[in-house]
Chain A
Amino acid sequence: MKALLIRDLRLALRAGGGFGLGLAFFLLVAVLVPLGVGPEGGMLGRIAPGILWVGALLACLLSLDRIFALDYEDGSLDLLVVAPIPLEAVVAVKALAHWLVTGLPLTLVAPVLGILLNLPAGGYGWLVMSLALGTPALSVIGAFGAALVVGVKRGGLLLSLLVLPLYVPTLIFGAEAVKRGAAGLEAGGALALMASVTAAAVAVLPFAAAAALRVNLR
């Protein structure tokens, strides 16, 4: 399993694996939104939590179809199925690798983009915390979606149609936590609800994704 994780990380980091693409997209969103809505600080600060969360979500979406598609095409997914580790663990490791190269960097740069968007001072802690707790759910849900469409050629658009509705609870709770934190209100409740969504997704979805993979490789 460790070998698989290291392999996936290497593949993502080298040879145009799409690492950094998500980050660049996230940065672009944060730059384009003030250009679009105008530089007025108060309004930017109000919409910053939502923009940052939606940006992170879309940036995550960009690299989802790479989770299984490349391995499916070159046949290594067939080998992983017969490997001596359960397929559920393969899914979990691949989701973890996806999170390490997208979710984690997004979480780390988010405060910088918060400055660009004039996020109120109280929001930074909540922003980092909510992204750190929420992006694993984005990766796991994405892995489930990617497993569903792995057999479909050019499934990228279909993948986003399937995955985006599943992102709704995480997005609402996550953005709400940051918004409340930025407004100086108590935000722990929203954060706890989002973390529980993440925990449930991480616990259950690898099984659903593995079932979908088995169907696709039948």
Chain B
Amino acid sequence: MSIWEYANPKRFMQTSAWALPWVVGLTVLCLVVGLVWGFFFTPDDFRQGSTVKIIYLHVPSAMMAINAWVMMLVTSLIWIVRRHHVSALAAKAAAPVGLTFTLIALVTGALWGQPMWGTWWAWDPRLTSFLILTLFYLGYIALWAAIEDPDTAADLTSILCLVGSVFALLSRYAVNFWNQGLHQGASLSLDKEENVSDVFWLPLLVCIAGFVLLFITLVLMRTRTEIRARRLAALLARERVG
């Protein structure tokens, strides 16, 4: 029994139909626990006041914005190498979700930046690379929308995703070239020195788990929709011929 059996659309639909309620439940649980705990049961930061709490939305969505692109990269590679349609459809399904996470990260960052840095926006390396990531998502989605033949669209967007990943990484390091910027370093890392304190850390972990699950939920749902749309198109085509 190999993992590729799940690439069979029928098998995928069965498994995801079984898994979806569980994933949805876990998502809701994690998000409710994490956000309520974070918003109402953690102390205010002594310098930032209660604005610190935006971290529970900002950090997880920023992480997922990047991870969604990585997932699209992996599924695009699988499509190019093994030609599993579910893989291409999952990449297509993930793109708008990733774009939304990117926008959430940008907007929450701006809301936090206004009282803290005194500005909505700064051309800081991290902020700039997120803006560029938004453009990559937009281009990717636009290319999917522009091409009618689904296999051609899947091929071309996969190629764009591969090339775009390289250039997105390059841009990330290119913007570092300007200056160090305003944005603080990583809040969560294995290096204990620079982490946020434990009071904030645990609810944040729950929130991150919640956002990962939310991403999985949305991608599963959207992939199922795409598969159904594909089946419907096939049925309609058959009817027209017959």
The answer to whether A172 and B143 touch (CB under 8 A), given A148-B156, A212-B156, is: no
B160 touches A165 (CB 8 A): no
Give the residue name and chain of the A residue nearest to B140 (CB): A162
- Does A138 sit within 8 A of B, measured CB to CB? no
The answer to whether A169 and B170 touch (CB under 8 A), given A155-B146, A158-B143, A190-B177, is: yes
Distance in Å from the Cβ of A58 to the closest Cβ of chain B?
15
- Inter-chain CA distance A152–B153, complex, in Å, is 11
Distance in Å from the Cβ of A81 to the closest Cβ of chain B?
15
B142 touches A215 (CB 8 A): no
Distance in Å from the Cβ of B145 to the closest Cβ of chain A?
9
Interface majority SS on B: helix, strand, loop or mixed?
helix
The answer to whether A152 and B136 touch (CB under 8 A), given A144-B163, A208-B159, is: no
The answer to whether A166 and B164 touch (CB under 8 A), given A148-B156, A190-B177, is: yes
Out of B146, B147, B171, B177, which one reaches A165, CB within 8 Å? B171
Chain B residues with CB under 8 A of A158: 139, 142-143, 146
- Inter-chain CA distance A134–B221, complex, in Å, is 44
Give the residue name and chain of the A residue nearest to B169 (CB): A169
Out of A152, A165, A193, A215, which one reaches B167, CB within 8 Å? A165
Q: How many B residues touch the partner, as a band?
A: 20 to 34
A162 touches B143 (CB 8 A): yes
A149 touches B143 (CB 8 A): yes
- Does A21 sit within 8 A of B, measured CB to CB? no
- Inter-chain CA distance A162–B157, complex, in Å, is 11
- Does A168 sit within 8 A of B, measured CB to CB? yes
Chain B residues with CB under 8 A of A216: 152, 156
- Does B36 sit within 8 A of A, measured CB to CB? no
Interface residues of B in 90-142 (CB under 8 A from A): 132, 135-136, 138-139, 142
- Does A124 sit within 8 A of B, measured CB to CB? no
Out of B135, B146, B175, which one reaches A149, CB within 8 Å? B146
Chain A residues with CB under 8 A of B163: 144, 166, 205, 208
**Contacts A166-B163, A172-B177 known; 17 new A-B pairs at CB < 8 A:** A148-B143, A148-B159, A158-B142, A158-B146, A164-B135, A165-B135, A165-B136, A165-B164, A165-B167, A166-B167, A168-B174, A169-B171, A173-B174, A193-B177, A197-B170, A211-B159, A215-B155
Which 6 pairs between the two chains have the least Cβ-Cβ distance? Answer: A215-B155, A169-B170, A165-B135, A169-B174, A172-B174, A168-B171
Give me 7 A-to-B residue pairs in the complex whose CB atoms sit less than 8 angstroms apart, sorted by A's number: A144-B163, A151-B152, A158-B142, A169-B170, A208-B159, A211-B159, A216-B152
